[in-house]
Amino acid sequence: MSTATCARFCTPLSSGTAGSTSKLTTGNGSGNTMTSAYKKKIPSNNSTTANTANDSSNTETTFTFKLGRSNGRSSSNVASSESSDPLESDYSEEDPEQEQQRPDPVTNSRSSSTATTTTTSSADHDNDVDEEDEEDDEDEEEGNGRDADDVTHDSSESIEEDDGNETDDEEDDDESEESSSVQTAKGVRKYHLDDYQIIKTVGTGTFGRVCLCRDRISEKYCAMKILAMTEVIRLKQIEHVKNERNILREIRHPFVISLEWSTKDDSNLYMIFDYVCGGELFTYLRNAGKFTSQTSNFYAAEIVSALEYLHSLQIVYRDLKPENLLINRDGHLKITDFGFAKKLRDRTWTLCGTPEYIAPEIIQSKGHNKAVDWWALGVLIYEMLVGYPPFYDEQPFGIYEKILSGKIEWERHMDPIAKDLIKKLLVNDRTKRLGNMKNGADDVKRHRWFKHLNWNDVYSKKLKPPILPDVHHDGDTKNFDDYPEKDWKPAKAVDQRDLQYFNDF
Ligand SMILES: Nc1ncnc2c1ncn2[C@@H]1O[C@H](COP(=O)(O)OP(=O)(O)OP(=O)(O)O)[C@@H](O)[C@H]1O
């Protein structure tokens, strides 16, 4: 995420509804009074750089773990009692328990902690693991209308806990050294960290940074995501990071970032990706103000294709937003940041996402599934067409209220067919949400807004991209903000005990 992203959220950590409970109820939603407040925080161009990065008054607040990510992504402000996000406050109450229930570093056994959210059911989590539960949602009748008030409380199903530190079904993996041999299309390659020449930081995140680098062997440019293990441990993200790596290793899709290799040393975890030189869709959207229906349709189609693929593997992405959509040199999308992605068996309960994009069932701690990605798609299409998200407030609490209220303000001249799709995606009752009914993604693909599309052509990148990034070569960094390189201090080495948490990374 570029520092331009800071402008998205301006929630001072110390202000507002500190200590608020997370037990939100369906709201007396104040409707969407957006918007001058939001608009004035949108940068007029992409030139926000170091100043913004160091301005601690602007904080994008993300549930649970990805806190403080907007400040140049370098400050890992953890949720605290000062947080203005009620769900963060709720989460931090759970910290001591989670600390104790971190998986044993030696056995790496599954945590037995309870879900961090407010739930009304309990279940044998171990039993959940092997069950491939069909979504009860899929038995529901398809509903076409928006039913914002119909919020079901389905609390009797089994819960898959997800406290960020549970042990998932990870493959055993010996590739945990700084070098490892990997079978590639051109034969076996022995990878080593020294193969990569770091050129420049292009992004920052909660635990570290993403650098452009050059593979000295293939001479290809790549992006190296460097995560400080001390931060991953401190923020209790061990399992989320391992999930991210494991899921990325499993997937291959034209619109999803490709993981080339991953490794670690005694301080950092490293993931090597294709370098996507066009930068974030977020930047293009803010510079344009809003996209035409045609442009939005193009990006939405590529996302639908990717979501359909991920969901077919029972992977829920959970972090769809323009900051996580990169534009490749050819103008096609690459979804990045699988830090919240999760392989589902039933429902999961972690409070995660970015306030504007989270689905009502996450706020209500009802357990959630792939339906949250379809909700986020509705938010994204709205944001592309209108220029700002449908639910916005200065405070996360206000955003949640608006999401739960189900009220959306519509622009008068909005494409009515796109509006119809958004309405069917932004249905509070997930059993009636397009994409989450018995025909799955097909319902979305068959919507009139996509009627003109041949979905094989979408997958094969045969559609003409509406934007071609201005880049001179594959390693061009002009579409990313500048980050002061001297700010980076080497991460502290972790001790042997902590290193074992990452044995299978
Ligand atoms: N493959 C890539 N090519 C080019 N830039 C990238 C790539 N991957 C990530 N970036 C840049 O780095 C930023 C941070 O990456 P990413 O979101 O994966 O890190 P993160 O640590 O998970 O961040 P956060 O804590 O905000 O979720 C991205 O928003 C993007 O601007």
Number of C-beta neighbours around residue 226 at 10 A: 20
Asked if residues 259 and 182 have their Cβ atoms less than 8 Å apart, the reply is no
Q: Name the one residue in this structure whose structure tokens are 């930068």.
A: 279
SS3 call for 188: strand
- pLDDT of res. 353: 74
Q: What percent of the chain has pLDDT over 70?
A: 62
pLDDT by residue (tens digit) across 224-265? 999 999 999 999 999 889 999 999 999 999 999 999 999 999
Domain-wise residue ranges, the chain = 189-277+471-504, 280-470
* Ligand 1 centre distance from Cα of residue 404 (Å): 30
Top mutation candidate among 71, 196, 225 for ligand 1, by most atoms within 8 Å of CB: 225
Tell me the pLDDT of the chain averaged across its residues: 71
For residue 108, name the pLDDT band (cuts at 50, 70, 90). Answer: very low
pTM of the model as a whole: 0.70
Q: Name the one residue in this structure whose structure tokens are 């449908």.
A: 390
Q: Which residues are annotated as a binding site for ATP?
A: 225
Rounded mean pLDDT of 279-295?
Answer: 97
Q: Which residues are annotated as a binding site?
A: 225
- pLDDT of res. 200: 95
pLDDT exceeds cutoff 60 at 311: yes
Where is average pLDDT lowest: 85-89, 270-274, 291-295? 85-89
CATH number, domain 189-277+471-504, options 3.30.200.20, 3.10.20.340, 3.50.30.30, 3.20.20.70: 3.30.200.20
How far is it, in rounded angstroms, from Cα 10 to Cα 392? 11
Rounded mean pLDDT of 410-418?
Answer: 95
Asked if residues 277 and 474 have their Cβ atoms less than 8 Å apart, the reply is yes
pLDDT by residue (tens digit) across 373-393? 999 999 999 999 999 999 999
For residue 177, name the pLDDT band (cuts at 50, 70, 90). Answer: low
Q: Which two tokens stand for residue 397?
A: 């609490």
Q: What percent of the chain has pLDDT over 90?
A: 52
- pLDDT of res. 348: 63
Q: Which two tokens stand for residue 377?
A: 């798609």
Indicate the residue type of 213: C
Asked if residues 500 and 277 have their Cβ atoms less than 8 Å apart, the reply is no
Active-site annotation, residues: 319
* Ligand 1 centre distance from Cα of residue 56 (Å): 20
For residue 442, name the pLDDT band (cuts at 50, 70, 90). Answer: very high
How far is it, in rounded angstroms, from Cα 465 to Cα 450? 16
* Ligand 1 centre distance from Cα of residue 1 (Å): 6
- Name residue 271's beta-bridge partners: 225, 262
**Rounded CA Rg of the chain:** 21
For residue 53, name the pLDDT band (cuts at 50, 70, 90). Answer: very low
Where is average pLDDT lowest: 97-106, 318-327, 343-352, 365-374? 97-106
Region for 151 from its dihedrals, namely left if φ exceeds 0, alpha if ψ lies in -120 to 50, beta otherwise: beta
Rounded mean pLDDT of 92-105?
Answer: 30
Indicate the residue type of 182: V
What is the CATH architecture assignment of 280-470?
Orthogonal Bundle (1.10)
Rounded mean pLDDT of 65-88?
Answer: 30
- pLDDT of res. 349: 65
How far is it, in rounded angstroms, from Cα 469 to Cα 489? 32
ipTM > 0.90 for the complex: yes
- pLDDT of res. 337: 94
pLDDT exceeds cutoff 80 at 175: no
For residue 206, name the pLDDT band (cuts at 50, 70, 90). Answer: confident
In Å, what is the CA distance from 261 to each residue of 182, 278, 388, 426?
Answer: 8, 22, 36, 37
pLDDT exceeds cutoff 80 at 122: no
Reference 59, options 137, 3, 124; nearest CA is 3
- Residue-wise DSSP of 269-336: EEEEEE--TT-BHHHHHHHHSS--HHHHHHHHHHHHHHHHHHHHTTEE----SGGGEEE-TTS-EEE-
Q: Which two tokens stand for residue 325?
A: 């959509």
Question: Within 6 Å (CB) of ligand 1, which residues are found?
Answer: 1-2, 66, 69, 73, 202-203, 205-207, 210, 223, 225, 257, 273-276, 280, 323, 326, 336-337, 339
SS3 call for 397: helix
* Alpha-helical runs (H) found in 155-264: 229-234, 238-250
- pLDDT of res. 146: 30
Q: Which two tokens stand for residue 24?
A: 């939100």
